[in-house]
Amino acid sequence: MSRTEPNDTFGVYLHWPFCLSKCPYCDFNSHVRHAAIDEPRFVRAFAAEIASTAARAPGRTVSTIFFGGGTPSLMQPSTVGAILDEVGKHWTVAPGAEVTLEANPTSVEATRFAGYRAAGVNRVSLGVQSLDDGSLKALGRLHSAREALDAVAIARTAFDRYSFDLIYARPEQTPAQWAAELRLAIAEAAEHLSLYQLTIEPETPFHTLHATGKLVTPDDEMARALYDTTQEICDRAGLPAYEISNHARPGAECRHNLIYWRAHEYAGIGPGAHGRLDVDGYRRAIATEKRPESWLMRVESLGHGVVTDELLSTEERADEFLLMGLRLAEGIDPARYTRVAGKPLDPARIKELAAHGLIESDGKGCLRVTKAGFPVLDAVVADLAA
Ligand SMILES: C[S@@+](CC[C@H](N)C(=O)[O-])C[C@H]1O[C@@H](n2cnc3c(N)ncnc32)[C@H](O)[C@@H]1O
Ligand code: SF4
């Protein structure tokens, strides 16, 4: 089995598993609770899990921290501050570390932005989803487009860095409508946008509606036209895709997410969090209990909520490296692949995919998916990994 290589990045992901309501398209680990959440109890549990994780991965310098959800902007700023203090007690936090918090763009949550800034957050990622009120309603969102744009304006004053998410390829959406919405979004965006095609996830209300024909999503041809519109407009606006769904001005990429896509090391803390830790030189895949109350009880009795802790085989690591790395416009370093996989990529497959215009060399030794290859990325990865 190949050993992991030293790297100077280390990310900490912290999962806040609660939302005010469940959006009908979403299959993230998020739960609605009608009673108040006991935040001090969660802080104690986060502290315990940070301590137990740091004991397994000691001495790291944290380069990025990411509060994801669920809806982390439901947390009190003091809760966020207390959790950040715990990270700093167990690891060294690099000067200039990127500290992101995902926020829903409602007026109530925006009132907490200054508090998050004071607690140490320096970047927010807002789930705007759409700038069209009818679409927001259809997506089950609790905010209007106006409220979302007001939250973006507050984020702009509170943070040097912010991003927002939009979902496209929505039912009945045309390229012309999407182009107008995207241009409006770009006018409000500073340096980063996440643009996701609507995915119908199993076991969601949208899945049932879709299966019974009550929700009709764009066919492949329309989805492709919407994707092409996205790339064209963002490229022209100086926000090219650096990852299949993420656009940024050069240098403004989300450094935390780059850790995942570049297959570096990160800790996952909180209910349903995933981590990749290098323990004694070998990569481990770690996941915690998903249900918030069960996670709490587990942490309170065992000191951690881990339910999966597996050594990744060479093959699993190599597949993950390809799957994550080829999502990036920069592509992958084939020499690093060889070190991870213990064998090089198959030159015949590379030649064939390149002949079809789906992959290319960047001229500096990296292998990347072409613009024509991105819409069929899954097939390209499957072919290279086979
Ligand atoms: C975990 S959510 C967190 C953000 C925050 N809770 C919110 O909704 O505003 C992260 C993002 O994933 C995207 N997302 C979730 N489910 C999706 C789906 N089925 N299809 C496409 N995008 C999805 C949304 O854009 C969302 O903002
Ligand atoms: S999209 Fe965001 S707010 Fe909606 S259920 Fe998922 S995590 Fe919660």
| pLDDT tens per residue across span 49-83 | 999 999 999 999 999 999 999 999 999 999 999 99
The helix (H) or strand (E) run that includes residue 316 is helix 314-325
How confident is the model at residue 6, as a pLDDT?
A: 76
Residues with CB under 6 A from ligand 1: 25-26, 28, 69, 71, 102, 104, 127, 129, 165, 167, 196, 198-199, 201
pLDDT at 240 over 80: yes
Ligand 1 atom having least distance to the Cα of 69: 1
Tokens of residue 70, six digits: 């669920």
Q: pLDDT, tens digit, for every residue of 129-144?
A: 999 999 999 999 999 9
- Any idea how long the chain is? 386
Q: Find the ligand nearest to 73 CA.
A: 1
How confident is the model at residue 7, as a pLDDT?
A: 81
Ligand 2 atom having least distance to the Cα of 26: 6
Q: pLDDT, tens digit, for every residue of 146-170?
A: 999 999 999 999 999 999 999 999 9
How confident is the model at residue 162, as a pLDDT?
A: 97
pLDDT at 190 over 80: yes
CA distance 312 to 2: 10
pTM, rounded to two decimals = 0.97
Q: pLDDT, tens digit, for every residue of 364-386?
A: 999 999 999 999 999 999 999 87
CA distance 44 to 158: 28
Query: 344-365 burial by CB neighbour count: b if 16+ within 10 A, else e?
Result: ebeeeebeebeeeebbbeeeee
Q: CB atoms < 10 A from the CB of 236, how many?
A: 11
Q: Find the ligand nearest to 71 CA.
A: 1
Amino acid sitting at position 372 = A
How confident is the model at residue 8, as a pLDDT?
A: 86
How confident is the model at residue 125, as a pLDDT?
A: 98
Q: CB atoms < 10 A from the CB of 172, how many?
A: 12
Query: 213-234 burial by CB neighbour count: b if 16+ within 10 A, else e?
Result: eebebbeeeebeebbebbbebb
- Testing ligand 1's pocket by substitution, the residue of 130, 167, 173 carrying the most ligand atoms inside 8 A of its CB is 167
CA distance 206 to 123: 31
Mean pLDDT across the stretch 316-340?
97
% of residues, the chain, pLDDT over 90:
96
Q: How far is the CA of 139 from the centre of ligand 2 (A)?
A: 10
Range with lowest mean pLDDT among 5-14, 220-229, 269-278, 330-339:
5-14
